[in-house]
Structure 1
Amino acid sequence: MQVSQKYSWYVSAGLLALTGMVFSSLGSPQIAVANFSENQLTPHLVAQKIKTLTIVFPTRADSTDLQNKADNVAVFLSKELKMPIKAQVGDDTAAVESLRANRADVAFLSSRSALKAEQLANSRLYLAEVRKNYSGRYTYNSIFVVPSNSQLKSKNSPKATLEQLRGKTIAFTSPTSGSGFIFPVSELVKQGFVPNRDRLENFFGKISYGGNYSKALDAVVRGQADVAVVSEYALFSPYLAAQNRDKVRILHKISGVPAHGIAIDDDVPVLIREKLINALLKLNKSENNQLLTSLYNSTELVRIDHDRHLRPVKEALKNVGIDP
């Protein structure tokens, strides 16, 4: 057995640990652990020495007082798991690096950062966030936004709609944004307008990068860009001021952008991982839900399959010409 820097397993008298799957009366799988006295000649798992589990909560534009809110979640999880949980705050890059360097065990991550965490740390997503303003529950839309009075119109096909953008000024969010760059450029590639991200200037008249959703949308509101690409939830506060909502409209939607999720490092033992997932799912209960919604405005966590959830962003990156 490979020894992790974070966990040590101790087995009495050199005997093997025995685990099994049982089913509750509701039919859901649970982990069963054999528990025998040391003088019995049967498999016995004596103890599992666990240190602190560290969870990274990345900063986002719509999160405030995040450290305090993350600490409250950590206290809840610590009580559920009966072990110390530490909450750290940092951006997605820092979260992935912490997983890689074994300074963290769990992280809330965007889909692209989750791919990077898989590549560098062999971490995987087990849960995804649900928001009320996500069209697909745990997927959402990337949208092309134009001024309300724009002559650009939604046509009967994506190709006809996007053809109108030829020679126009576009405000992307950032070159690393999923909904604000990767998915819309992938759509342009699929429709045959550009071969990859490096030939955008051959289609658009001018390209700018707002740096975030708010600035990309402001470029449209102020008449500095004909179109911007953002996430569907960026049409609401705090990204777009209420007085500007009627100044823009959606020209085209791209569905299926994977929601942010919770990645767990492969060093976390299976039993602890399952306990953690079950504890996180308890944040969906009404009496605990405010702890979850206060973080990133997500209302629910759902189990997802890592590969299936991230497949759309893998395909979009390939179309755009970006390594995962």
Structure 2
Amino acid sequence: MSVSKKGLLGAGAVFMALTGLAVSTFGVMQATTANSISNQPVPNLLALKQKQLTVVFPSRSDSTDLQSKANAVASFLSKELGIPVKAQIGDDTAAVEALRANRADVAFLSSRPALKAEQLANARLYLAEVRENYSGRYTYNSIFVVPNNSPLKSKNTPKATLEQLRGKKMAFTSPTSGSGFIFPVSELVKQGFVPNRDRMDGFFSQISYGGNYSRALQAVVRGQADVAVVSEYALFPPYINAEEKSKLRVLHKISGVPAHGIAIDDDVNAVDRERIINALLKLNQTQNNQLLRNLYNSTELVRVDHNRHLAPVRDALTRIGIAP
């Protein structure tokens, strides 16, 4: 690993690279799960100085009591790998910084942070999450959502459908959200309605950011916005309840948003990386699967090619005027 690559940027710089907005929130909670053989000699599994594996589990709004669930996965991995495994909770920005600073070896990441992990830490995505409510198994849809009684209608072409949004009040999820900003803005650029992410006020009469899926959708439910963009799975609890969902409908879908996945740092050699991947894949087995489901409602982990999986988000970022 090159010191010049990983040693120059701090957590603040990583966060600015991801969002340009604020500072990281990593390190608030952490726990170490020692395996049952912690008093015995520890095998030197990793080509690292420390004799343990550190995995970062980013906090997400659809996961409660995440620390204890992450600890359970860490305990499982510890038994499989024969070394202590530490589970840390933080946001995506902090996960990237931990990989860059060699404070973590593995991290669960969404697509854009995964690109930053590659750029800043030379980490790569090796596994992707599958969910029952992902339309593409390990890809999902970004959706434009309107009130049930909206005059806006789905047309024969994306251009005709999205043309109706001119002059409307738009609620994005956040400027860093793939399905809630990057992919829908990319589609608007592709169709010729806006030139880039910074020049949308000439198309929409009002632009707001909910901060998460729930608030973006509730802005539409409450009449504060005419349309919101979110992930397709945000139309289910815990993001909104059945009553709120009954007041909404999907106007337009954009397919192919890459699912969240698991990145491994380049400090882990190829042989040891394969052992880690195989241990994680054992979470797919019936007797272990609940551990995986408890984390982020994922049902399965699948191998993916880093470049191929993340190509759609690279293209979308480039189109809207953000360096991948």
Same fold at TM > 0.5:
yes
Query: Could you tell me how far 1:136 is from its partner in structure 2?
Result: 0.2
CA RMSD between the two structures: 1.5
Determine the structure 1 residue equivalent to 2:238: 238
Deviation of 1:314 after TM superposition, in Å, equals: 0.2
**Counterpart Cα distance in 2 of 1:161 and 1:279:** 46
Paired with 2:194 and 2:120, the residues of 1 have a C-alpha distance of: 31
What corresponds to 1:57 in structure 2? 57
Indicate the SS of the match to 1:113: helix
CA offsets 1:148-198 (integer angstroms, 9 cap, x no match): 010000000000000000000000001111100000000000000011011
- AA aligned to 1:187 is E
Question: Which amino acid counterpart does residue 85 of structure 2 have in structure 1?
Answer: I
Q: Report the Cα distance in structure 1 between the residues aligned to 2:65 and 2:273, rounded to whole angstroms.
A: 27
Q: Give 1:270 deviation, angstroms.
A: 1.2
Tell me the equivalent position of 1:267. Answer: 267
> In structure 1, what is the Cα distance between the partners aligned to 2:239 and 2:64?
14
Match of 1:168? 168
Matches within 5 A, 1:129-144: 129-144=129-144
In 1, Cα distance between equivalents of 2:91 and 2:77:
22
Mapped to 1, the partners of 2:92 and 2:267 lie a distance apart of 20
2:144 counterpart SS class: strand
Cα pair 2:143 2:229 within 8 Å, conserved: yes
- Equivalent residue for 1:287? 287
TM-score by length of 1: 0.85
Match of 2:308 in 1: 308
Distance between the aligned counterparts of 1:135 and 1:48, measured in 2? 37
2:321, 2:240 → 1: CA distance?
30
Stretches of structure 1 lacking an aligned partner (at least 5 in a row): 4-45
2: distance between equivalents of 1:181 and 1:157? 21
Give the distance between the partners of 1:47 and 1:248, measured in 2 at CA. 51
Matches within 5 A, 1:1-324: 51-324=51-324
Residues matched between the structures, number: 282
Spell out, residue by residue over 1:244-285, the C-alpha distance to the aligned partner (whole angstroms, 9 max, x if none).
111000000000000000000000011111011001000001
Mark the runs of 5 or more structure 2 residues left unpaired by the alignment: 4-43
Aligned-pair CA distance for 1:126: 0.2
- C-alpha displacement of 1:215: 0.5
CA separation of 1:48/1:203 partners in 2, compared to 1, >3 Å: closer, same or farther?
A: closer
Find the residue that maps to 2:252 and give its secondary structure.
strand
CA distance in 1, matches of 2:266, 2:316: 26
Q: 2:257–2:312: 8 Å Cα contact kept in structure 1?
A: yes
Measure the CA separation in 2 of the matches of 1:167 and 1:195: 16
How far apart, in 2, do the equivalents of 1:48 and 1:146 lie?
50
Q: Find the aligned partners of 1:2 and 1:257 in 2 and give their Cα distance.
A: 31
Measured in 2, the distance between the counterparts of 1:181 and 1:267 equals 33
One-letter identity of the residue aligned with 2:148: S
Q: Following TM superposition, by how much is the alpha carbon of 1:47 offset from its aligned partner in structure 2, in angstroms?
A: 8.9
Rate the CA distance shift 1:49–1:98 in 2: closer, same or farther, 3 A: closer
Instruction: Please give the alpha-carbon distance, in whole angstroms, between the structure 1 residues aligned to 2:190 and 2:228.
Output: 19
CA change 1:167–1:272 in 2 (3 A) is same
- The structure with the larger Rg is 1
Structure 2 length-normalised TM: 0.85
From the superposition, tell whether residues 48 and 298 of structure 1 become closer, same or farther in structure 2 (CA, over 3 Å): closer
* Distance of aligned partners of 1:2 and 1:156 in 2 relative to their CA distance in 1, 3 Å threshold: closer
| Residue identity in the other structure for 2:200 | L
> Following superposition, which runs of at least 4 residues in structure 1 exceed 4 angstroms of deviation?
46-50
Matched letter for residue 222 of structure 1: R
Q: Helix, strand or coil: the match of 1:200?
A: coil
2:100 and 2:45 map into 1 onto residues whose CA distance is 27
Whole-angstrom distance in 1 between the partners of 2:124 and 2:45: 26
Identity rate, percent: 78
| Match of residue 8 from structure 1 | none
Q: 1:48 to 1:303 in 2, by over 3 A?
A: closer
